[in-house]
Amino acid sequence: MEIKVNQENLLLFVALASETRIRMIEMLGKENLNIREMAQKLNLSSAIVTKHVQQLEEAGIIRTEMTTGKRGMQKQCSLRLEHASLVFRTDEVRPSEPHQDGYDVNIPVGQYYSWQVKPTCGLASETKLIGMRDDPRYFAEPEHVKAQHIWFAGGYVEYSIPNYVSGKNSISELSISLEIGSEAPGYAEDWPSDITFLLNDIPVCVWTSPGDYGSVRGKLTPSWWELGSTQHGLLKTLLLNSFGTYMDGMRMSDVSIQDIPILPREEIRFRILSPEDARNAGGVSLFGKHFGNYEQDIQVRIRY
């Protein structure tokens, strides 16, 4: 995973600026641990360790899940990010402009073309709600293209990725970066959601979002947006290449880019799905460049 050294990734750098959190990362590099086990190893209270865990999780460095232990439910921690490269200087590539070996595309979160959603659900632009809350009919409102925040408790939204690859070339790598989280009524930071990502109807992986974040206002969340509601998500990067599917550098499945039926000059369909029959049916929240913590739309990078 490549990480640009800029303000958008400040959460990650802040999370690493702590001796305690670095020690936690070192421990989790050897074995998965729950909060109590880490507290004992660090000689700290469980409350303090919980705060450190939350910061590492929001930065995308670790993941947590609730498991059953001898003393009831426990929060189990494991590394999410296995490796990363820091990028100090980047060459700007204009959206949707092909170059010799690939191109980048920015897709606003409101520019889905297909959907099927269930309440709780809704859309918000940078300045107002679009339609009424919890009424799926407003996902057809023409203003949906202006949405900067989308949420739904079940169902999917689907986007069209332009395919500029022509001739005998074939796509060798496809990455999608987006700010995403779960969807709970109001918000619930411990609200796991099994979210399935599909390309041209092929499920490439299932990622479990840890929660629906609302305790701290998002850095870009408009001032009119009420407290007590979802404020931001986590920045995730989905990558497909010849070796499989990865999320933030962690292998998620054996589905490779060659397994996706991509026809020349035909768009690539990208679906974000929260299945009703999932073990953790916790919905989806999406954020655009004027909402949440990261100033970006859905960023797609294609290499061939």
* Model pLDDT for residues 14-23, shown as the tens digit of each residue: 899 999 999 9
CA–CA distance, 271 with 284 (Å, rounded to integer): 12
pLDDT at 89: 66
Q: Judge contact between 276 and 168, C-beta under 8 A.
A: no
Would you give per-residue pLDDT tens digits along the chain (304 residues)?
667 787 778 888 889 999 999 999 999 999 999 999 999 999 999 999 999 999 998 888 998 888 777 667 788 899 988 777 787 765 443 344 444 489 999 999 999 999 999 999 999 999 999 999 999 999 999 999 999 999 999 999 999 999 999 878 899 999 999 999 999 999 999 999 999 999 999 999 999 999 999 999 999 999 999 999 999 999 999 999 999 999 988 899 999 999 999 998 899 999 999 999 999 999 999 999 999 999 999 999 999 9
Q: What pLDDT does 166 receive?
A: 82
Please answer whether residues 107 and 159 qualify as being in contact, where contact means their C-beta atoms are separated by less than 8 angstroms. Answer: yes
Scanning the structure block, which residue is given the tokens 């039926």? Answer: 261
pLDDT at 101: 84
Question: Which residue from 103, 257, 243, 245 is spatially nearest to 170, judged by alpha carbons?
Answer: 257
Q: Write down the pLDDT at residue 98.
A: 43
Q: What is the predicted pLDDT for the residue at 285?
A: 98
> Which residues make up the CATH 1.10.10.10 domain(s) of the chain?
2-85
Tokens 């990010």 correspond to: 81
CATH 1.10.10.10 assigned to 91-303: no
Kindly write down the DSSP assignment for every residue of 259-274, as one continuous string: GS---TT--EEEEEEE
Specify the amino acid at residue 251: R
Question: Could you identify the residue written with the tokens 């303000």?
Answer: 7
- Record the tokens describing residue 278, joined without a space: 């999932």
Give the model's pLDDT for residue 92. 41
Residues of the chain with CATH 2.60.120.260: 91-303
CATH for the stretch 2-85: 1.10.10.10
